[in-house]
Copies of this chain bind each other. A is one copy, B any other.
């Protein structure tokens, strides 16, 4: 999966809320990851999902799943430039799932983000790295308190959303949205259009107009919007 320049550019400017709204119009109700927040505000994240799955710790399986070369290390070391590491940890808030050294490694490998539906560890250090990180909570324990890393690049549930390896993951201060790989160009284009309409509506309302007619745009105001849009793009 590689993103075209125009799609990447659009994804870097549209809001995750707009993407989730457009996906909903296409019938996809669960695209926005619930309950996660960025460690550091003011950043944007765009990348392609590489998935990692944790299961409940079962001590007899430590030799299989919690060894030196386990799925956590395997997945992090396999990260490609432009990828986002997406960790499924069953929404458990009270066990770490990733810490600062793995995050630094992800950064060095060119990853563009880290998303976990569990907790981060070394959270203050993570927040200072030059890579966006989204989490449910901070917790000082290691993953061994509740988890084993089990496998990589399978479809996963992350924070209530099915994420398929290769899906496009976008984040801003609101949170994280998963855009299906096969739909990403169209959704990005629609979202860019939608943002224009909302920007116009916002301006109209800011200027004192009613929301009725301006948001959502009604047909009788379309010409006015289009004139605004054309004037704007010609500058």
Stretch from A5-13, A29-37, A221-229 that touches the partner: A29-37
A137 contacts chain B at the CB level, 8 A cutoff: yes
A20 touching B59 in the complex, CB below 8 Å, given contacts A68-B212, A160-B94, A212-B69: no
Which positions 104-146 of chain A face chain B at CB distance < 8 Å?
A: 104-105, 108, 121-125, 137-142, 144-145
Chain B residues near A20: list those with CB within 8 A. Answer: 140-142
- The 8 Å CB contact of A24, one of B93, B137, B145, B212, is B145
A82 contacts chain B at the CB level, 8 A cutoff: no
Chain B residues near A148: list those with CB within 8 A. Answer: 162
- Whether B17 pairs with A162 at a CB distance below 8 angstroms is no
- The 8 Å CB contact of A173, one of B57, B123, B154, is B123
CA distance A202 to B201 in the complex (A): 48
Quote the shortest CB–CB distance from A167 to chain B (angstroms). Answer: 9
> Of all chain B residues, which has the CB nearest A158?
B56
Chain B residues near A144: list those with CB within 8 A. Answer: 24
- Whether A202 pairs with B157 at a CB distance below 8 angstroms is no
CA distance A61 to B155 in the complex (A): 11
CA distance A153 to B15 in the complex (A): 32
> Which of the four size classes fits the interface of chain A?
35 or more
CA distance A102 to B205 in the complex (A): 8
Chain B residues near A30: list those with CB within 8 A. Answer: 56-58, 145
- The 8 Å CB contact of A28, one of B34, B60, B164, B173, is B60
Chain B residues near A202: list those with CB within 8 A. Answer: 100-101, 104
A152 contacts chain B at the CB level, 8 A cutoff: no
Chain B residues near A162: list those with CB within 8 A. Answer: 55-58, 61, 148, 150
- Whether B29 pairs with A210 at a CB distance below 8 angstroms is no
Chain B residues near A24: list those with CB within 8 A. Answer: 141-142, 144-145
